[in-house]
């Protein structure tokens, strides 16, 4: 298993940018670590690192080999975990992409608890509201709202009942009043979300008898960051149209109030998405189960009727 240990050292040193730091983390001496890298380079007949007195960086060949080393270690770790069964300790690295508001507001504390339960698992979290190309993004799974945009992607449901809701702070409602009907949003300051160059100016609803309703909204604030929109709503600057998961705790704590609850907002189901089923190993399955439980605890907003699924934003 010496070759496997050398491979783990190589991956860790590349991530930390320091051979001595990798040695300390693996509880080996710098001399042993240096000998392991030299042994690996000799076996590959390739120089993997450029070393200086202050830094360590992978060569072009090292960068190319690093991707293969990651996948090899992932496959080995998953093989061991499969043999050991569901109770096996999770190891390796799990790379996750998530929307800004969900990531900062909910996912950070949730992942703290998940990692505390699986201390040998390393997490790498990418937060952005921009829909990156998951085939190019260096992630194993992405948390995304709405139906998968590409049928070739693997989508694991996390919270199918999630949808968008209208919310505002008590301070804003005391100042501007509460809209009795979605049509009244035209007379309110609406906090809008922008995805790429697409400004979300049509807020869509479904009535109790299933009829669609689209309202053109306007306001003095626009952001491409869902967390900024939520913070503006909390600060009393206007009405937001947000995913229930993003504001459920704020509603429960009365920091925000639900508006026009008789009209269902756009469905916004949450999925774990992966470009390749081979990336969905034990860590992803356990993370999904963990997230399903956490989302279920937040519940779904009233009312119970729902409109047809469509891509959701923000």
The DSSP letter of residue 89 is P
* Cβ pair 263, 182 in contact under 8 A: yes
Q: Tell me, what's the pLDDT at 308?
A: 37
Residues 6+ apart with CB under 8 A from 151: none
**What does the pLDDT read at residue 287?**
94
pLDDT of residue 70: 77
Instruction: Report if residue 254 sits inside a domain.
Output: yes
Residue 264 in any domain: the answer is no
% of the chain surpassing 90 pLDDT: 44
Structural domain contains residue 304: no
pLDDT band at residue 8 using 50, 70 and 90 as cut-offs? confident
Highest mean pLDDT among 137-141, 205-209, 245-249 belongs to 245-249
> pLDDT band at residue 191, thresholds of 50, 70 and 90?
very high
Among candidate residues 145, 154, 135, 153, the one with its CA nearest the CA of residue 195: 145
pLDDT at 255: 97
pLDDT tens-place string over residues 12-49: 888 788 888 888 878 888 889 889 999 998 989 999 99
Total domains, the chain: 3
Average pLDDT score, the chain: 85
Number of H helices, E strands in the chain: 10, 16
Q: Which domain CATH number covers 204?
A: 3.40.190.10
Residue 183 has what pLDDT?
Answer: 95
Are 191 and 185 in contact by the 8 Å Cβ rule? The answer is no
Cβ density class 43-72: b for 16+ within 10 Å, e for less: eeeeebbeeeeeebebeeebeebbeebbee
CATH number of the domain enclosing 8: 1.10.10.10
Note the pLDDT tens digit of each residue in 252-290. Answer: 999 999 999 889 999 999 999 887 776 678 888 899 999
Range of the domain at 274: 96-161+269-298
- Say if residue 104 is in the same domain as residue 46: no
- The sign one gets for the Cα dihedral 235, 243, 299, 124 is negative
Q: Which residue has the tokens 């920091």?
A: 255
Taking the C-alpha atoms of residue 266 and residue 311, their distance in angstroms, rounded to an integer, is 9
Same domain? For 149 and 285 the reply is yes
Tokens encoding 56 = 């360590």
Number of alpha carbons in the 13 Å side-chain half-sphere of residue 168? 23
Distance, CA of 157 to CA of 28 (rounded, Å): 42
140 confidence band (pLDDT: 50, 70, 90) = confident
- The CA distances from residue 152 to 140, 273, 274, in Å, are 15, 10, 10
Give the pLDDT band of residue 84 (cuts 50, 70, 90): low
- Which pLDDT belongs to residue 149? 66
Give a yes or no: residue 311 inside a domain: no
User: Is residue 164 pLDDT above 60, yes or no?
Assistant: yes
Q: Taking residues 76-82, report their average pLDDT.
A: 65
Per-residue pLDDT tens digits for 231-249: 999 999 999 999 999 999 9
120 with 240, same domain: the answer is no
Out of 258, 277, 306, a domain closes at 258
Rounded average pLDDT over 179-185? 95
């Amino acid at each position: 298993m010496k070759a496997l240990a050398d491979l783990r050292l190589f991956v860790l040193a590349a991530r930390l940018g320091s051979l001595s730091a990798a040695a300390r983390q693996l509880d080996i001496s710098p001399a042993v670590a240096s000998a392991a890298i030299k042994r690996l380079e000799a076996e590959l007949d390739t120089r993997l690192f450029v070393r200086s007195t202050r830094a360590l960086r992978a060569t072009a060949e090292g960068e190319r080999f690093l991707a293969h080393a990651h996948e090899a270690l992932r496959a080995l770790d998953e093989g061991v975990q499969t043999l050991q069964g569901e109770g096996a300790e999770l190891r390796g690295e799990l790379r996750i992409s998530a929307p800004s508001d969900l990531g900062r507001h909910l996912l950070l504390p949730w992942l703290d608890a998940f990692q505390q339960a699986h201390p040998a698992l390393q997490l790498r979290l990418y937060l952005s509201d921009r829909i990156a190309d998951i085939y190019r993004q260096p992630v194993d799974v992405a948390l995304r709202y709405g139906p998968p945009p590409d049928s070739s992607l693997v989508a694991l449901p996390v919270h199918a009942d999630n949808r968008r809701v209208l919310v505002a702070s008590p301070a804003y409602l005391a100042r501007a009043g509460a809209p009795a009907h979605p049509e009244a949003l035209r007379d309110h300051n609406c906090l809008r979300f922008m995805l790429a160059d697409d400004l979300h100016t049509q807020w869509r609803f479904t009535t109790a008898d299933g009829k669609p309703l689209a309202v053109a909204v306007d306001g003095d604030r626009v952001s491409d960051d869902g967390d900024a929109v939520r913070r503006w709503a909390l600060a009393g600057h206007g009405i937001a149209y947000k995913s229930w998961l993003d504001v459920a705790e704020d509603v429960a704590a009365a920091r925000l109030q639900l508006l026009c609850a008789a009209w269902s907002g756009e469905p916004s189901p949450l999925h774990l998405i992966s470009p390749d089923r081979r990336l969905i190993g034990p860590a992803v399955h356990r993370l999904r189960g963990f997230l399903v439980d956490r989302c279920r605890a937040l519940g779904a907003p009233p009312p119970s009727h729902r409109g047809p699924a469509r891509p959701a934003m923000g």
